[in-house]
Structure formats: C-alpha cells, structure tokens
Amino acid sequence: MKKDLPSFAPGGESSVVADESAAWFEKLAAMPVKLGNLANAYSGLQTSAADVFILEEVRKDKKRVLCKSKATGRKHWFEDEHLKPFVKGSLNIRRYRITDLSKRLIFPYEIRDGKSVLIDPREYKRRYPLTWAYLEKNRRQLARRKKGKMGRGWYGYVYRKNHTRFGAPRLLVPSVGTGSCCAYDLDGRFYFGGDSYGIELPNQDRLLYLVLLGLLNSKLLNAYLLKNSKPSRGRHSILDRQSLEQLPIPTINFSDSNDAFRHHRIVTFVTQLLALHKQLSTTRTAADREMYQHLIDANEVQIDSLAYALYGLTENEIQVVEGKTI
C-alpha cells in the first residue's frame, strides 16, 4: 500500500523542497506498467514443521550428507540427492548473489504431470531409507499437525502451495531487508520458505530477467521500495507481494535507439556483475578482493545511471534519490 508522502507547510522554500522531493516518487507511481503486469510474485513453501524439514548441513560423504536437526537436537545421515538446497530470506539472498548456503530441505514430493504428489511410503522407504527413518523418528510431532488429521500423509506439508514452481528460472527477494535485494536463480535449483518471494516471468525471457534484476537492485527502485513498504525493526522494511507487484517498470521502446541501447547496456552490466560476484566469492587475496569490489561498484554506478534515464528522472530528482542537496 502506498505510504503518505511527508507533508510540508504551504508556501515558501519548504514548499518547493517538498515538491522536488516528492516529484520522482509521484513520477514512478504514475507509470502504467507494474512488475505484476510482467511477472508473477509468489511466496515460498510452508511446511508447518520447519524444525523437522529444514536441516543444517554438516558434511558430505559420497552419496550421503550429515545434517543437524533442530527437532531432535542430533545429527542424522540423509541421501544427498534427495535433500534440496534451501535459502533463508535475508540470511542468504544478497544483491546479485546467493551466499552462505548451509540449509537443506526434505521435500517429500515428486512433480508428476505438473502436479505435486506425495511420495508413497513404501517407495519412500525403498528409495530414501535414511530420510524415511528420520521422518519416522519425528512421526508423533508431524502427525499432530492439522489437529491430528494428517492421516496417511503425516510426513507431508500441511499446505501444498507453489510446489510446482521450483525448478524454473526466477528472481529471489527476501521479505525483510534494508531495501531492494534481488538475486537470480538461473536454474530454479534453490528452495525457499515464507520469508522469501520468487519472481517468475511467464515466458522465461532470460534477457528480461537480467534487465529486471538490474532495475530491482538499482538505487532508484531501492528508494521507491523503502518509501512504499512497511517499516520493521531498525532500518529494515517488510516487503509484501503487493509492494513487489506494484513496482513501476519502464516501457522500453526498441524502435528508439536510446531505449534499445540502455536495455542492451543493462544486460551487459548485470551479466558482468554476476560473474564478478562469483569471482569475488572465490578469490583469496585482499588485493584481488579490492579489485573485484571496485569493478562491482563501477558496474552498479552504470546501472543506476541507465535506470535514471529509463525512468526519465531529472538531475534534481536524481540528487534527491541519492540523498544529495539540491
């Protein structure tokens, strides 16, 4: 929901400052095309027993993985191929990258003919005996959910929501953060819960994903999100699906050489950023880290400049967004 803009006393210099400070926001809010017109934003999985299904990876051994369970307070072996890599909101989702992955998810379903199907108990025990033995240890807790009416599906999730969306490319956004923070999950390999959102394009246009990634991480949409989201503790804001879907997206006219050039440059800079962050995460020396961070900062400045141009901001409006004196 759009937040009220700051009010100022009518007349005089303060009125002029108020008009200029509000102009950029009003310009973006009036844009007809929103993110929700182009993409679907959806929340993650709801297991109703996160302490059982979400595990902390300790180490791997051939085809097995040892994980710590919050439910049992112990370590258990699982089939590595069965457990999914799991992302925890702002803990793992960063600008342009997903970091510090240590969580794994038990996803007791298979996708068949576009539908989520709970794996049959006998089949589960045959194919994944280690995981099934762990679920059996937690049967009492799992069966108590839904007022004890889980029945034969006691080891499944209470809510079957958005199960079939995993495995496809999407952008990932945490539901709580200090502003816009968007990563690209090219292969849709990461699973996530209710503390994150996926942004999925119906036509899976990779170039459009890259453009949206750059715009969503720009200073401009960062400022817009902070102004248009609910405050949380400290400097954090709570992002909901409506706030994401109402983000204004500029219409790019490809017959206009300037628009086409800006589109192409955003794709180029975002592609470079994805590669630079990957290199930064594996570099060993302080000098290399400084070099890669300098290149990352330079690419982000270029994307910010292109975003201002695509949204038609004036020099004064840019100064306001960047918190500089006008």
The residue ranges of every structural domain in the chain are 12-39+205-321, 50-163
Quick: pLDDT tens for 11-48.
333 333 445 678 899 999 999 999 999 999 999 999 99
Cα dihedral sign for 129, 114, 216, 263?
Answer: positive
The mean pLDDT value for 293-300 works out to: 96
Pinpoint the alpha helices (H) of the chain.
12-29, 35-38, 50-53, 89-92, 121-127, 129-137, 139-143, 145-148, 206-216, 219-227, 241-245, 257-282, 286-310, 315-321
Looking at residue 16, its pLDDT comes to 39
* pLDDT at residue 10 greater than cutoff 50: no
The mean pLDDT value for 215-238 works out to: 79
* pLDDT at residue 226 greater than cutoff 80: yes
Average model confidence (pLDDT) across the chain: 88
Looking at residue 225, its pLDDT comes to 86
* pLDDT at residue 6 greater than cutoff 80: no
Looking at residue 236, its pLDDT comes to 62
Looking at residue 22, its pLDDT comes to 82
Q: Measured between alpha carbons, how far is 207 from 191 in angstroms, rounded to an integer?
A: 23
* pLDDT at residue 233 greater than cutoff 80: no
* pLDDT at residue 251 greater than cutoff 90: no
Q: What percentage of the chain reaches a pLDDT higher than 70?
A: 90
151: left (phi over 0), alpha (psi -120 to 50) or beta: left
Confidence band, pLDDT 50/70/90 cuts, at residue 256: confident
Q: Measured between alpha carbons, how far is 23 from 259 in angstroms, rounded to an integer?
A: 22
SS3 160: coil
